[in-house]
A and B are shown apart, each in its own frame.
Chain A
């Protein structure tokens, strides 16, 4: 199957700083990528849909000025958590589909565990 990578896998930052998370599709092009956050023992909560070459679409309740998404190429989307606070500590996961089965089959990155101190 297709491979999606994320970097970094873990990051610890101080409150008030910004953190950038990268999501890359390694062997396919993705015009659309999805960003999720997941708290322990909970489901994946869709944060936003990242669209190559255009603005991201954010889910209700997700602050677009706090969670900046850039999808500058067909293989890279970035999520920047600005002015991070301890409540932003979570597991952030991206996904992308390679088009073969459209949105039905998403490939997920390994996730980024963010801890804000």
Chain B
């Protein structure tokens, strides 16, 4: 099985950069995926890392270090619409972390 830990809440201002960390413990590891979920909506895919390093997708980037069992999602140029919950997930068993609620303030 897999266990993924994330901070429960993060607050930042518009235009800022925020990093959401995810640490994991797993018996078999195949990378990390990241999803965004707005209140009342379904999760949407943001990014994934199968290998170590940084993956950049527009304002969102994701990083993975398998030796440290650690990854993060980096959100740049924050906008109010980025206020949502963000989940890391393990694709080998489709389990999700508890989620990080991001609040972007003006």
Contact = CB atoms under 8 A, between A and B. Distances in A.
A108 B44 contact: yes
Q: Chain B's interface: helix, strand, loop or mixed, by majority? A: loop
Interface stretch (B19-27, B71-79, B96-104): B96-104
A101 B48 contact: yes
Interface stretch (A41-49, A67-75, A78-86): A41-49
Given A104-B48, A104-B50, A106-B33, A34 B42 contact: no
Contacts of B99: 42-43
A20 B91 CA distance: 27
B45 A93 contact: no
A95 B44 CA distance: 10
Nearest to A101: B48
A34 B43 CA distance: 13
B26 to A, nearest CB: 14
A107 B45 contact: yes
A15 B42 CA distance: 26
A24 B49 CA distance: 27
A95 B95 CA distance: 12
Interface in B14-72: 30-31, 33, 35, 41-45, 48, 50
Interface of A: 1, 34, 36, 41-46, 49, 93, 95, 101-111
Interface of B: 30-31, 33, 35, 41-45, 48, 50, 87, 89, 91-99, 101
